[in-house]
Amino acid sequence: MSTTDSNLSSNVVIAKWTDRFLAWMIDFITISIFSTSLILATFGTIDFESSYEMFWFESIQYIPSSVIFFSYWTILEYKTGQTLGKKILNLKVTDIFGNSPTLKGVLISSFGKSFLLPIDVILGWILTNEKRQRVFNKLGDTLVIKIKSSEDESQIRYAKD
C-alpha cells in the first residue's frame, strides 16, 4: 500500500434528520400528486360534500398509495441509492459501511417508510444511535448519508492524455 492510500480515510457522513425529512417531503409531494391522480382516474370523482364518502376515499387510498411509495423507494434506492428528494439534497442510502445496500435491506427500510412511518420514526428517535437510523433502517442495515456536493467536484483536476 502506498503512502497516499494510507492517508485516505473512509469517512461516512450521516445525514441530518432535517435533511432526511426534507427529502422525504419532496418525495411525498411528488408521489402523492401521482398516486392521487391515478386513484382519482381509477375511482372517478368524489363528492366532497359527504363526509362518509370522503372517509371511504381516504381509507381506500391508503393502501394503493403506500404500495406506490413502497415501489418508488425500493426501486430507486436499490438501483441508484437515491430518490428525487435525496438527489436534490445530496443524500444517499447505503449499507452500514457506505457501500450499495442489499435488496433485502432496501425492502425492509422501504416497508417501514411506506406503511409504518410514524412508528418507525418515533421509535428511531427514542432508540436512536450514532448512525441516526430509523428502526427499519437498523433492521435492514441501511444508512442515509450525505454525499459530496458539486462544490467538491470543483477541486477535481482533469487532464487529457
Whether residue 161 lies inside any domain: the answer is no
pLDDT value for 156: 57
For residue 142, which of 116, 124, 118, 115 has the smallest C-alpha distance? Answer: 124
The percent of residues in the chain predicted with pLDDT above 90, rounded, is 48
Whether residue 134 lies inside any domain: the answer is yes
Domain encompassing residue 49: 13-148
Q: Which long-range contacts (CB under 8 A, 24 or more apart) does 75-84 make?
A: 77/101, 77/106, 77/109, 77/110, 78/103, 78/106, 83/23, 83/27, 84/26, 84/27, 84/30
Q: What is the rounded CA–CA span in Å between residue 113 and residue 120?
A: 7
Q: Which cell goes with 50?
A: 359527504
Q: What is the rounded CA–CA span in Å between residue 161 and residue 113?
A: 47
Whether residue 7 lies inside any domain: the answer is no
Helix (H) / strand (E) element for 63: namely helix 51-79
Whether residue 54 lies inside any domain: the answer is yes
Contact 69, 31 (CB under 8 A): yes
Whether residue 90 lies inside any domain: the answer is yes
Q: Which cell goes with 86?
A: 435525496
Whether residue 46 lies inside any domain: the answer is yes
Of the listed ranges 27-31, 120-124, 143-147, the least confidently predicted one is: 120-124
pLDDT value for 1: 40
Q: How confident is the model at residue 107 (pLDDT cuts 50, 70, 90)?
A: very high
- Note the pTM of the prediction, 2 decimals: 0.76
When divided into structural domains, the chain yields a total of: 1
Whether residue 153 lies inside any domain: the answer is no
